[in-house]
Amino acid sequence: MSDEDPYLWLEDVTGEEALDWVRARNAEALAELSTGERFAGIRDEVREVLDADDRIPYIRRRGEYLYNFWQDSANPRGLWRRTTLEQYRLDDPEWELLLDVDALAEADGENWVWQGAAVLRPGYHRALVELSRGGADATVVREYDLDERRFVDDGFFVPEAKTRIGWIDQDRVYVGTDFGPGTLTSSGYPRLAKEWRRGTPLEEATVVFEGKPDDVSVSAHHDPTEGWERDFVYRSVDFYRTERYVRTATGLDRIEVPEDAQTSSHREWLLIRLRSDWTVEGTTYPSGTLLASGFDAFMAGERSFTTLFTPDAHTSLEYWAWTHNHLLLSTLSDVRTELHVLTPSEGWTSRPLAGAPELGTAQITGTDPDVSDEYLLDSSGYTQPSTLSYGHVGGDVEILKRAPSFFDSEGMTVSQYFATSEDGTKIPYFVVRPSGAEGGPTLLTGYGGFEVSLTPGYSGIIGRGWLARGGTYVVANIRGGGEYGPDWHTSVTKAKRYKVYEDFSAVAADLVERGISEPSRLGIQGGSNGGLLMGVMLTRYPHLFGAIVSQVPLLDMKRYHKLLAGASWMAEYGDPDDPAEWDFIGKYSPYQNVHADRAYPPVLFVTSTRDDRVHPAHARKMVARMAEQGHDVRYHENIEGGHGAAADNEQLAFKWALMFEFLWEKLA
């Protein structure tokens, strides 16, 4: 025990004393929140949404097959399966089962949670399957034979770790993992990238690159595109800065782009998306710009670019995706999706791509760049269930699947407003209101970090648990996200972090000023970095809110960089060990700013024992301190679930029901 922090013992994740404390707090929360009819009703309704047989089975093409991972009440851990496009078009497709995770977990005596699979290109006959225990980020990697539908005897196998692995060819992979002492960074990710050949011990794999202990991570990747095969090595210096290299027979050649830029290659093209201004041969390209260059010409020293996208005050580039012959761009204009098709020829041509809804989001969920110009487009809005469409650039678009409506949206309105933050910046937010909900219970959410954008989309969970019961739902697009490009994020990192919290509080105040809600009926919810946001709202702006839910949060910003993956986020928040940086971090760190003599709204903290990204001690210690000080606080920690705090649909429905029950109890 420490005089400075009497709750350090709660950082012992699986220590018996700490787990006894967790069990006691869980029992208190469950006794308060989980015994009534409303909780049971919400839990069951959310579970119906999660397990619905008629929801869209989202797919990813790998060669001739479309792959899907499916969970429902009969298969809570899930089924990995595949079908053909012809079958997928049918109302009831025939699926070929590849792996039953529930059966595997039972046979192995493990609580396996699916974490994905890397399938070998071309050919698509082998896969590297990743499974985690209880939903943690750390995984076990096992090689799978897709033709014989079984794990490969004496195939590639990597024990549990935060592993980065990918195919080179059928007999070689690139791998970064825990090779023993000194092989992980201070963030807990691989410091070494190795080439590993089939039939040789993992420890004898050949070192390709070695990073430094304080890097975030190191990785390597092989691009098998026929005729354009390349190998890349990445050294992530911090969360936003990466050194990139092409691996050749003679060594590593640096790709001389700004470290904070994003890059991708496709066939003969190199794309560069800037996160800060870049001056090249007398021309300055602003942050947020997307540039194209011939890959080989760029590596040879040529610096001639085609500008594919330039941001403005209202519009930013969200993402891009290649088909075989075209580049698809998704942009946001005041957080509304617009889609474009760009085609390289003598020059680059651009035209719109249809499919983006008004006050909604259209997401390119899949392309087949090896052989075709097909694309899959998923579109939805707050009250508009998803539609999955299939098309070819320049051809017809076919609706493949429509999601069911999980709540009655008749009479609901979706509006966008702008609040004014303390420095005069206009902050957009969306309001979804049932008829007659003015002044009633309101749920406000936000994130505000890591250039993550919150765009409109359908949620049967929010619909059933909140909107259909008469609640108003609000999404704040505060700075720190990417809604207006990289500057919307970089302008509020480190010493300017306080502006994120001013933005969110400005939205809360604007809701009251417009008569949409009032403080006693305004609840807020956020997770991870959004959980930190909730902690700051609790300790700095408690008068604005009637109830707060903070999920898998960062809260102890004095020690966040010493806990699990925390060191990787110092580019976002700063270094608490630097007195100059702790000076601004310490002003908002929730754990250091909760006091016995202040009044706070009731708060619920939710986390997971198996979260190996954000340490559960953040929430544990905050709850212990607030309880000691006599505040209205409750806590629930799921033993499984990882950073999502739930390992299957049953746990996820339970978690949502706890949150909704708490908010309805405090706000209604």
The token duo for 175 is: 């791998």
**Ranges in the chain, pLDDT < 70:** 1-3
Active-site residue, from 266, 326, 636, 643: 643
Instruction: Please say whether the beta carbons of 555 and 590 come within 8 A.
Output: yes
* 643 is an active site residue: yes
Distance CA 197, CA 155 (A): 11
Residue 624 CA from chain centroid, whole number? 29
The string of DSSP codes covering 525-564 is EEETHHHHHHHHHHHH-GGG-SEEEEES----TTTGGGSG
Distance CA 467, CA 452 (A): 24
Distance CA 622, CA 558 (A): 13
664 to each of 138, 403, 441, 470, 533, how far by Cα in Å? Answer: 36, 28, 8, 10, 21
Phi, psi angles (nearest 5°) of residue 520 = -70, -15
Among 257, 194, 262, 269, which residue's Cα sits nearest to residue 228?
269
Instruction: Please say whether the beta carbons of 561 and 239 come within 8 A.
Output: no
Among 389, 325, 386, which residue's Cα sits nearest to residue 354?
389
Strands 426-433 and 126-133: unpaired
pLDDT at res. 666:
98
Q: Is the pTM of this model over 0.85?
A: yes
Among 491, 591, 586, which residue's Cα sits nearest to residue 550?
591
Dihedral over Cα of 207, 212, 214, 220: its sign: negative
The token duo for 283 is: 């021309």
Beta bridge partners of 444: 474, 524
Distance CA 593, CA 535 (A): 10
Instruction: Please say whether the beta carbons of 616 and 607 come within 8 A.
Output: yes
Classified as helix, coil or strand, 448 is coil
- Give all domains of the chain, ordered by start, each with its CATH number: 16-48+406-667 (3.40.50.1820)
pLDDT at res. 488:
98
Residue type, 381: G
The token duo for 309 is: 């996208």
List the beta strands (DSSP E) in 163-267: 164-169, 172-176, 192-197, 206-210, 217-223, 230-236, 242-248, 251-254, 262-266
Where do we find the tokens 């397990």? 51
Instruction: Please say whether the beta carbons of 355 and 339 come within 8 A.
Output: yes
Please provide the average confidence, as pLDDT, over all residues in the chain. 96
Burial 187-210 (b: 16+ CB within 10 A, else e): bbbbbbbbbbeeeeeeeebeebbe
Cβ-based neighbour number of residue 53 at 10 Å: 11
Instruction: Please say whether the beta carbons of 254 and 245 come within 8 A.
Output: yes
Active-site residue, from 528, 568, 589, 608: 528
pLDDT at res. 2:
42
Q: What is the DSSP letter of 643?
A: G
- Per-residue pLDDT of 136-192, as tens digits, reads 999 999 999 999 999 999 999 999 999 999 999 999 999 999 999 999 999 999 999
Instruction: Please say whether the beta carbons of 379 and 357 come within 8 A.
Output: yes
Which residues are CB-neighbours of 41 under 8 A, at least 6 positions away? none
Strands 547-551 and 603-608: parallel
pLDDT at res. 121:
96
